[in-house]
């Protein structure tokens, strides 16, 4: 009988469920990207590289994958471990992809002048952005808030909005479109290292909890026969190890870029300054003549 119940639950889960609100958001993002590429860029003679287009497409794919059926339905109704994967996509993958897709000229055009750039500069400082991001991450794992967000639709969407907004701020010092707000490569490595350590606290709490933490996931309908304790322990491991491995992979990549640039400079008999290596790709691909130079704009960290 138990096996039959599991099969019926799995069959019910695989029934497609529409999410028009997700299609609307994805449609708006795609339309904005198309408008920028076909209308705004030609008017202002701004360049959009194939690499940036690729990052944009990848960001849209991740947004759709994390928001629509089946991941959304499993994350909200059945398994907290899938909910954790969804959050990692929303905070560690998608924002970085979209930021890498934005040319500097477009970012300056969108932000404009006045108080907005000043506020953005303050909020995207490494300490401020890191504290905001990790504070939101900690609060969103509070059991009362998780239980309420699953049952209250508007609260659920608001939490996701705040998570994504603070994640964008967190990534600005690493791969944002403003050269003057990005850190040097050593600074980025230290920054990402700190970002990988703090989530281990709630991750460890979930991993070693011996009783159900979230009542909303403690129900009799167990998808794929995964128990509630095993579910939350897997979620803790994903948060603690999965997110950490991703950030450490980026740190490793940045280290080899940094070391490679220094080795090349040594072969040329010159000393490499850190502002020369503060981006994952060549700045010359996107920076126009009106953009501040790396030497002038990059803060030393």
**pLDDT tens per residue, the chain (301 residues)?**
445 444 445 556 667 889 999 999 999 999 999 999 999 999 999 999 999 999 999 999 999 999 999 999 899 888 999 999 999 999 999 999 999 999 999 999 999 887 888 899 899 999 999 999 999 998 998 899 999 998 898 899 999 999 999 999 999 999 999 998 999 899 999 999 999 988 888 788 888 888 899 998 988 777 888 999 999 999 999 998 999 999 999 999 999 988 888 788 788 877 766 555 454 444 434 333 333 333 333 333 3
Element (H, E) at 145: helix 143-151
Contacts (Cβ under 8 Å, ≥6 apart) of 201? 138
Please report the pLDDT score of residue 301 as a whole number: 37
Please report the pLDDT score of residue 277 as a whole number: 47
CA gap 77, 219 in Å, rounded: 10
Please report the pLDDT score of residue 85 as a whole number: 96
Angle at CA 262, nearest 5°, toward 244 and 268?
A: 160
CA gap 206, 210 in Å, rounded: 9
Please report the pLDDT score of residue 17 as a whole number: 85
Q: What is the DSSP string of 226-256?
A: --HHHHHHHHHHIIIIIHHHHHHHHHHHHHH
Contacts (Cβ under 8 Å, ≥6 apart) of 162? 136
Please report the pLDDT score of residue 68 as a whole number: 94
Look up tokens 């479109």; give the residue.
177
Check if the beta carbon of residue 183 is closer than 8 Å to that of residue 174: yes
CA gap 220, 104 in Å, rounded: 51
Q: Considering only CA atoms, which of 96, 82, 121, 281 is closest in space to residue 176? A: 96
Q: Report how many helices (DSSP H) and strands (DSSP E) the chain contains, helices first.
A: 17, 0
């Amino acid at each position: 009988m138990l096996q039959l119940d599991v099969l019926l639950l799995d069959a019910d889960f695989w029934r497609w469920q529409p999410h028009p609100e997700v299609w609307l958001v994805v449609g708006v993002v795609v339309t904005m990207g198309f408008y920028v590429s076909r209308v705004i860029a030609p008017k202002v003679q701004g360049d959009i590289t194939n690499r940036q287009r690729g990052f944009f497409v990848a960001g849209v794919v991740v947004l759709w994958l994390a928001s629509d059926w089946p991941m959304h339905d499993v994350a909200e109704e059945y398994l907290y471990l899938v909910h954790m994967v969804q959050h990692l996509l929303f905070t560690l993958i998608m924002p970085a992809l979209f930021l890498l897709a934005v040319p500097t000229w477009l970012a300056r055009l969108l932000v404009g002048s006045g108080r907005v750039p000043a506020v953005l500069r303050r909020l995207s400082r490494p300490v401020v952005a890191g504290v905001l991001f990790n504070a939101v991450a900690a609060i969103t794992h509070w059991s009362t808030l998780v239980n309420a967000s699953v049952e209250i639709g508007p609260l659920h969407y608001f939490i996701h909005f705040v998570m994504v907004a603070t994640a964008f701020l967190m990534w600005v010092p690493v791969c944002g479109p403003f050269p003057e707000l990005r850190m040097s490569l050593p600074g980025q490595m230290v920054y990402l290292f700190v970002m990988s350590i703090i989530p281990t606290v709630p991750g460890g709490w979930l991993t070693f909890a011996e009783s159900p933490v979230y009542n909303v996931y403690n129900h009799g309908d167990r998808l794929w026969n995964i128990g509630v304790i095993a579910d939350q322990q897997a979620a803790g491991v994903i948060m603690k190890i999965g997110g950490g491995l991703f950030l450490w992979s980026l740190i490793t990549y940045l280290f080899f870029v940094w070391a490679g640039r220094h080795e090349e400079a040594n072969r040329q008999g010159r000393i490499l300054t850190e502002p020369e290596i503060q981006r994952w790709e060549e700045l010359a691909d996107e920076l126009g003549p009106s953009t501040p130079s790396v030497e002038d704009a990059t803060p030393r960290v």
